[in-house]
Structure 1
Amino acid sequence: MRFDFNTYDFADTETGGNAVAVVDASGAMSWAALKAATEAWERRARLAGATAGVPLAISGHKEAAFLIAILGCLRLRVPFVPVDVINPPERIARIGQLVQAGLRYDAQGDAFVPGSDNPAPLAETGLAYIMFTSGSTGDPKGVQIGRESVSLFAGWIRDCLNLGAAPVFMDQMLFSFDFSLFNWVGALELGGACVLCQRETIAQRDTFVAYLANTRINVWASTPSFVRQQLFNPDFNHTHLPDLRVFVFGAESLTPTLAEELWQRFPQVRIINSYGPTEATCSTTWVEIDPALRAAAPNPFPIGRAKPYAEVFIENGEISIAGDHVMRGYLNRPDLNASRMFERNGKRGYRSGDLGEIDAQGLVTFRGRIDDQIKLHGYRIELAEIDATIATLPHVRAGATVALRRPDGTIVRLIGFVEPAQTGPAGLQPLPSGLQDWKAILGKRLPPYMIPSELVACHHFPTTSTDKADRKQLERLYLEARLSKKPES
């Protein structure tokens, strides 16, 4: 049995019903059980008021119930809006209001609750889902992905990646992080299994490896940052995970150093690198690191060539993408749609904001960002959204955020700056006494991965020629202040 993403229905139902389809912390679910649970969820959703074309938010973490709700929405033609509970309740509620959701399904409580004060059908029809990413205005922005885009994505996994029969996918990425799409779409399209990994399991390294070994995972898709964390565990190797045969990376640059460390641990493993913003349905380019590319060892590795259904080109140094997998536009943001979207050869196009190069073989290499958007552990973050939230702290005039990087460009952590409303001496200063609870205050509006690890005060932010906070100057001030501190005797 499998799930066909062309028809959005279960297929080949006469065989394989007893095979495992989904695993979570509570146990394994067979394909037959998954189908029955999805049909039961649909009946409850209809009774609760779910309607085709009216979005339905899904909140939870990595429960089978979350995936069941996704499949139910796809079958009912109800656009789903995934939101992980890592987000504070205020942000979850705000997303429901922005999308005018008819309902929110609480996957952890197995309950339907109101989704917004004013539910309404979407102006855009035929959507599979709306995924919210960090927004520079202080509000998250909704990316509208059509059903045709998900069908193309599933076909690429099926026809191009040669993952074998009924592969088992490790899925630790949040359902609200579009890269997770690779795991559950791939597993279900190929009639395999999706192994959902909760934060609590991942936090216990021995338990995590044992969980992956017992479920016999074959495909590992993650950010390079996440796999780098696993390398601290000496048991993360072929001996303990003998069924693991493919690594798929995305959302961050992949270096030869990391790839070589993996080949030392897993000598026969395949490594695939990929790239694609949320606006282009998870990925647009891909390349397998073959012996020639491994020997050349460019740093970083290229992000690949365009998929069969995609066109990728460089315009003024910027990576631009065209094809039917490109989003249908940002939700209620005509300003962004006008500046970021275009039409090319009758296909939707998107200007990514990523800098890149294409060589004679068609391989694209990522070279950074045009703006202040960053990737931290794979999460896409608009620094301006953090700035705006910091500025809401009591007795603060303005906020700014700096991403500290290693020499190879990898972001280590975020440092926040406040400009107090009350004037004071120039340079970095201790936080005013009224800001001791700043992390708790920011945590009511931002998920943990967007909260700076440190907050410092700076009277009179240095500014750029366009009168914006000068992040480079703030970073210089911060580093100079830290270097000037004498070690305690």
Structure 2
Amino acid sequence: MNPQHDIQSLQDYLRKTLLDPVRPGQLAISGSDGELTWSELSVAVTGWMERYHASAPHPDAPVVLYGHQQTEFAVAIYSCLLYGITYIPVDCIYPTERLKEICALAHAPYYYDVLQRTFVHTGVAAKPLQESHLAYMMFTSGSTGQPKGVQIGRESVWNFIQWVGESFSLPDAPVLMNHAVFSFDLSLIPLLANLAKNGHIVLNSKEAIATESWLESLHLKKVSAWISTPSFAYQKLLSPQFNSEFLPDLAVFVFIGEVLNKALVKQLRRRFPNAKIMNSYGPTEATVATTVVEITDEMMASESDLLPIGTMMPHSFMDITPEGELIIWGKNVMRGYLGLPEENATKLLTRAGTPWRGYRTGDLGFSKDYLYCMGRNDSQIKLNGYRIEISEIEARLLNMDGIHEAVVLPLMKPGGSVLRIAAFCVSHLSTEEIKQGLAKVVPSYMVPSQILLKDVLPLNPNGKIDRKLLDAQARVS
């Protein structure tokens, strides 16, 4: 590992890609506020930097970017990457109190209002970052009740750009569909793949996605690469237009952020028989993704309920503890959580005499030809004295014919014990049929006492299943 070499390589690559584009007249970005060709993007990133120097000259402090799916948001990100400014993306669908909290935690003196295209003083005193050459910080939910900042170095971004361009089966000059808000690191797959493949990223606001004409817009833009959580794709299956006849250019699906199950793959193969389906895995702390694999017929025909998450990216490897916890090692691992030394001491690992960084994921898995992930090490519960793995109940439900989506939640009492187990299913089966089917493959004490049928499972702003909302619904049902 040579971080300085990687940092310089990223700088050289971004200068060439953004300032001397190979396809200057081709569209580079489409968003809610318009479109830019690659030559127009080149001018825009330079202009953004000039305004930054004029309005917010604190090169050692991070800058917060605040907006939602605008072309200008992508311009700001690309400019920060090009000119070495650590950025923190915050989507405006989150309350302003969260914006203020993140600015304070990061000691960010300015945030950039993407919609107004102005720098706003936060009233927070600038404080230089202890880590140098950070590309970005992504704030995630924290167990303490405050968001925690994941610090990702520029060397990690360079490693990811090379990998996503080579290993995700993306077509040349792809048209990349992005639905994820920029404060969710899934959005970095299309953003960085766009740089790797000199393509066109199509940003989609939550308002646009909610319209009946949204798939029509993807058709007109000739989207060729779909990047999302499995849950988001499930919702689109409700539309009869979500097929290869209406979207003939769609050549590859890339999934990350949740477990990809066989039921979704089967439906996508019926609708898009020639498209490749890629499954990827990785926590925010390991730069978006760290494994990838194309789902094959052999994998679908296996007796296992699980699909593999793939093989590791270059310059990284996976350790699996005797307890089954996945530990990621490599230059893709974060530089640590901002200002949380105790959590860093728990989650980050080092190897004596080497520059390798390790991260304890809390995910459970195993290796058999490919890597597999099978849930969290904290998903185990006790109910009436019985030890139960929630992830196993989910897997069993998803393996039942007639169930398209399923989420299982332990409903907790205020004291921390389990009240009951609830299952939410997208299915044409009745609740009794589901219980009877499940009772055939698991002990009776693992059959959820509460099963709720849904047309679709609700998603949170990051495109993942909204488990908090489901928990609330189960408690009033």
1:187 corresponds in structure 2 to 194
2:365 is matched with 356
Match of 2:454 in 1: none
CA contact (8 A) 2:171 2:251 kept: no
**1:347: which partner in 2?**
356
Contact 1:100 1:115 (C-alpha < 8 Å) held by counterparts:
no
Counterpart in the other structure of 2:256: 250
How far residue 416 of structure 1 moved from its aligned partner, in angstroms, is: 8.4
Map of 1:449-460 to 2, 5 A cutoff? Answer: 452=469
Structure 1 residue 50: deviation in Å? 3.2
* CA deviation string 1:286-324 (max 9, x = no partner): 111123223326322111111122101211210000001
Question: How far does residue 413 in structure 1 lie from its aligned partner after superposition?
Answer: 7.9
Q: Does the residue aligned with 1:292 lie in a helix, a strand or coil?
A: helix
In structure 1, how many angstroms separate the alpha carbons of the residues matched to 2:283 and 2:10?
21
Alignment correspondent of 1:146: 153
Write out per-residue CA displacement over residues 340-381 of structure 1, whole angstroms, 9 at most, x where no aligned residue: 11113430000001111111x2x11111112369xxxxxxxx
- Partner Cα distance (1:138, 1:36) in 2: 41
User: Structure 1: how far apart are the matches of 2:465 and 2:227?
Assistant: 22
Name the SS of the counterpart of 2:176 in structure 1.
strand
**Aligned match of 1:333:** 340
| Equivalence for 1:435 | none
Aligned counterpart, 1:233? 239
Check if 1:318 corresponds to 2:333.
Answer: no
Unmatched 5+ residue regions in structure 2? 1-8, 381-389, 399-404, 421-459
Q: Equivalent residue for 2:57?
A: 50
- Please list, as runs of the form range in 1=range in 2, the aligned pairs for 1:216-227 lying within 5 A after superposition: 216-227=222-233
Q: Distance in 1 between matches of 2:409 and 2:242?
A: 25
Match of 1:265 among 271, 280, 294: 271
Q: Which amino acid aligns with 1:214?
A: L
Moved more, 123-132 or 42-51: 42-51
Residue identity opposite 2:407 in structure 1: I
Give the secondary structure class of the aligned counterpart of 2:49: helix
1:202 aligns with 2:209: yes
**Paired-residue identity, %:** 37
Equivalence map 1:20-419=2 (5 Å): 20-204=27-211, 206-296=212-302, 298-315=304-321, 316-344=323-351, 345-359=354-368, 361=369, 363-371=370-378, 407-408=397-398, 410-411=406-407
Q: 1:30 to 1:414 in 2, by over 3 A?
A: farther
Measured at CA, do residues 414 and 53 of structure 1 come closer, stay the same or move farther in structure 2, by a change above 3 Å? Answer: farther
| Letter paired with 1:53 | D
| Partners of 1:418 and 1:449 in 2: CA distance | 21
TM-score normalized by structure 1?
0.77
State the SS of the aligned residue for 1:9. helix
Q: CA deviation at 1:455?
A: 5.0
Quote the residue 1:469 is aligned against.
none
SS at match of 2:164: helix
Aligned residues of 1:415 and 1:452 also touching (Cα < 8 A): no
Shift of 1:136: 0.4
Distance 1:116 1:298 in 2: 55
* TM-score, structure 2 normalization: 0.78
Aligned pair in 2 of structure 1 residues 267, 454: CA closer, same or farther (>3 Å)? closer
* Aligned mates of 1:62, 1:305 — CA distance in 2: 31
Mark the runs of 5 or more structure 1 residues left unpaired by the alignment.
Answer: 374-401, 420-426, 429-442, 457-474, 483-489
Q: Distance in 1 between matches of 2:123 and 2:373?
A: 39
Secondary structure of 2:469 counterpart? coil
**How many aligned residue pairs are there?**
401
